């Protein structure tokens, strides 16, 4: 696109300079809508949600409405990070070579960010605030409308800052925030059965603790300004204006820094990793461990603390496990609290099932060193164990302390089994199914070297290792309860040994193939899934369609219909085994678990047999 307006005079060309990024964004949006229907479908869903919010505003609770508006603004900031929404945005780096100042650049970039389906739908959704204030008169509508615009600007600027700092920066901070965001979203989605009753109460009338908390939430201030005293209304609206101004100033500083230096923040200088023989890599390790294994373990621990994607995966696992165990408290269910540690360990194992794909051609080092394959496998597994064990233990202890009435023996006994399987089996899986990233030197949150098969295999290995403990808890006599920790330790040791042996065999026998797969700079194209029903696509991709259906539905008989009634005694109305008792209850629960396992295995087989794009 031509940038001739930059050559105009300073005053005459200011508006033209601001309009250039907006025109760029409009052109990109038109082309993307013609090529991909996804944003249009998402916009339609968003409009439906905005319509429901406006309908709720007519007769709903004002505090709940403020909470929902705040959740909408927060989702506007967070969701583009999770869904890759920043790929079609105009970034400050795009203006580095143009003679444009920081203020016009920031204004132009914000104008460009305002062009899109998301900002338009958000503006419609926030119109619920003046709709709710209509009962208080015309002045109230005007005040809340100004407040809605301020919240819209807050979401617009916050999303622009988040996309630049988190979405495009591969540093540790961005990786941790992305992992926390994704873990929170998935944790809430996985605990909807526990969250929904609380949401139902909230929609009717906000509890007093929510009412008191909303006094500190900016999304509730526009309505508070028209329902409270005049002096309070002036103060909260002035505070909201000040927050927007501070965010705008922060974005201006960010744009200036990017235009000047090319990066949002100056990264700290990195130091070279310690060589294998350096004493720093051996510090804290026992002398009986081979030096090569100590070096690999030290390298892996350093990578876990510095590599953005590894930090993102670890943060996701911790937050996801903690929320799966903690959110049921909203429904007065504390049975899962001691399982926070095991769930986090299982999530960390699943997210570690593709780490070899992050290394690229660095795998030639163990392949050319004497005994390097064995040291590589054991060092990776040991580093994972050293890193994840304290996290799992601390979360498990916290769950035990928060739920003193729940017997924690089963959870604590499965923890060593899950640790043993999680440390070794993902190493084998990542060597078996290598998914390289485009550029291992500069990974971003958009890269994901794992696939559904790797995640499911690593998860299934952990569940299989914990199965003996769970079987004794469910069907064993009470006399064997003191032996459960020993059974867990034995199962973890067996899973460790089996995973190490499989990984050794894979890397020793097929090392060159693994290296060639990890060194690829481009992945084969993924299977394109239609967003609407396409009979022709279904006829040509029956195995893919059935695989997706089985892998999605297979977890329903395993977890809610099988594990929940058998292990935790949760028998809701929609759980089939809950309507039976005695041996019939157990038999139906086991049958559900078996059915789900068969569905998942069939889905894995069909997924591997799906037709590949390009005929490969």
Q: Which two tokens stand for residue 113?
A: 């960010």
- Cα angle 178, 119, 48; round to 5: 95
From the list 562, 573, 567, 577, the residue with the least C-alpha distance to 335 is 567
Residue 162 gets which letter from DSSP? H
- How far are the Cα atoms of 61, 156, 210, 213 from residue 241, in angstroms, in the given order? 25, 14, 24, 20
Count the alpha carbons within 13 Å of 477 in the hemisphere toward its beta carbon: 2
Both structure tokens of 291: 């030096």
Q: What pLDDT, on a 0 to 100 scale, did the predictor assign at position 448?
A: 58
pLDDT the model gives residue 454: 83
395 contacts: CB under 8 Å, gap ≥ 6: 318, 321, 322, 325, 340, 341, 344
Q: What is the pLDDT of residue 274?
A: 38
- Minimal CA–CA distance to 551: which of 462, 461, 453? 453
pTM of whole model > 0.85?
Answer: no
Determine the pLDDT at residue 390. Answer: 95
The angle at the Cα of 525, spanning 519 to 528, to the nearest 5 degrees, equals 155
Angle at 298 between CA 295 and CA 301, to 5 degrees: 150
**Confidence at residue 442, expressed as pLDDT on a 0 to 100 scale:** 59
Instruction: Determine whether 300 is exposed, middle or buried from the number of CB atoms within 10 Å of its CB (0-12, 13-18, 19+).
Output: buried
* pLDDT score of 23: 78
Give the other-Cβ count within 10 Å of 29's Cβ: 17
Confidence (pLDDT) at 149: 93
Residues 471-521 pLDDT 10s: 888 888 888 888 899 999 999 999 999 999 989 888 888 888 888 777 776
C-alpha atoms less than 13 angstroms from C-alpha of 269 in its C-beta half-sphere: 2
Phi, psi (degrees; rounded to nearest 5) at 222? -60, -40
Residues in the chain with pLDDT < 50? 1-9, 12, 169-170, 266-285, 531, 614-616
DSSP 472-511: HHHHS-GGGGGGHHHHHHHHHHHHHHHHHHHHHHHHHHSH
Residues 46-66 have pLDDT tens digits of 888 888 889 888 888 888 888
pLDDT at 267: 47
Cα 587 to Cα 317: distance, rounded to the nearest angstrom: 33
Instruction: Answer for the pair 135, 150: CB distance below 8 angstroms, yes or no.
Output: no
CA 378, CA 290: separation in Å to the nearest integer? 10
pLDDT of residue 261: 67
């Amino acid at each position: 696109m031509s940038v001739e307006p930059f050559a105009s005079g300073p005053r005459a060309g200011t508006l033209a300079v601001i309009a250039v990024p907006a025109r760029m964004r409009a052109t990109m949006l038109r082309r993307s809508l013609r090529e991909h229907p996804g944003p249009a479908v998402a916009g339609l869903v968003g409009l439906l949600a905005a319509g429901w919010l406006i309908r709720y505003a007519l007769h709903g609770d004002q505090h709940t409405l403020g909470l929902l508006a705040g959740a909408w603004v927060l989702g506007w900031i967070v969701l583009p990070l999770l869904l890759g929404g920043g790929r079609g945005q105009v970034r400050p780096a795009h203006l580095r070579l143009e003679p444009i100042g920081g203020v016009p650049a920031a204004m132009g970039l914000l104008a460009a960010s305002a062009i899109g389906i998301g900002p338009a739908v958000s503006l419609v959704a926030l119109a619920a605030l003046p709709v709710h204030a209509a009962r208080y008169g015309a002045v109230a509508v005007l005040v809340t409308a100004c407040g809605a615009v301020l919240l819209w600007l807050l979401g617009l600027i916050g999303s622009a800052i988040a996309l630049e700092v988190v979405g495009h920066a591969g540093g540790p901070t961005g990786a941790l925030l992305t992992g926390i965001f994704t873990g929170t979203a998935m944790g809430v989605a996985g605990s909807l059965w526990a969250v929904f009753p609380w949401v139902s109460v909230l929609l009717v009338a906000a509890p007093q603790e929510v009412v008191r908390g909303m006094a500190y939430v900016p999304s509730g201030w526009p309505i508070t300004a028209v329902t409270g005293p005049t002096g309070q209304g002036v103060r909260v609206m002035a505070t909201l204006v000040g927050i927007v101004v501070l965010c705008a100033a922060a974005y201006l500083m960010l744009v200036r820094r990017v235009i000047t230096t090319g990066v949002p923040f100056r990264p700290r200088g990195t130091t070279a990793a310690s060589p294998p023989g350096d004493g720093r890599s051996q510090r804290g390790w026992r002398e009986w461990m081979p030096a090569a294994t100590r070096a690999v373990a030290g390298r892996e621990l350093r990578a876990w603390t510095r590599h953005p994607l590894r930090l993102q995966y670890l943060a996701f696992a911790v937050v996801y496990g903690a929320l799966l165990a903690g959110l049921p408290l909203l429904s007065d269910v504390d049975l899962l609290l001691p399982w926070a540690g095991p769930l986090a360990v299982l999530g960390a194992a699943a997210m570690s099932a593709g780490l070899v794909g992050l290394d690229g051609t660095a795998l030639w080092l163990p392949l050319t060193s004497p005994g390097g394959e064995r040291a590589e496998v054991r060092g990776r597994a040991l580093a994972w164990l050293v890193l994840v064990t304290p996290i799992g233990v601390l979360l498990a202890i916290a769950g035990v302390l928060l739920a003193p009435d729940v017997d924690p023996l089963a959870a604590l006994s499965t923890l060593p089994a899950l640790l043993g399987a999680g440390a070794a089996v993902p190493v084998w899986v990542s060597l078996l199914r290598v998914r390289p990233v485009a550029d291992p030197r500069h990974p971003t949150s958009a890269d994901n070297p794992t696939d559904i098969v790797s995640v499911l295999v690593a998860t299934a290995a952990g569940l299989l290792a914990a199965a003996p403990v769970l079987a004794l808890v469910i069907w064993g006599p009470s006399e064997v309860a003191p032996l459960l920790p020993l059974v867990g330790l034995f199962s973890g040791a067996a899973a460790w040994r089996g995973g190490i042996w499989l990984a050794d065999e894979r890397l020793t026998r097929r090392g060159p193939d693994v290296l060639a797969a990890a060194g690829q700079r481009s992945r084969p194209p993924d299977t394109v899934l239609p967003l609407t029903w396409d009979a022709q696509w279904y006829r040509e991709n029956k195995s893919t369609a059935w695989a997706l259906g089985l892998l999605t539905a297979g977890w329903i008989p395993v977890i809610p219909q099988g594990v929940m009634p058998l292990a935790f005694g949760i028998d809701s109305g929609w759980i089939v085994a809950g309507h039976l008792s005695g041996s019939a209850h157990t038999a139906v629960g086991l049958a559900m678990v078996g059915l789900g396992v068969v569905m998942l295995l069939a889905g894995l087989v069909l997924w591997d047999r799906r037709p590949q794009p390009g005929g490969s």
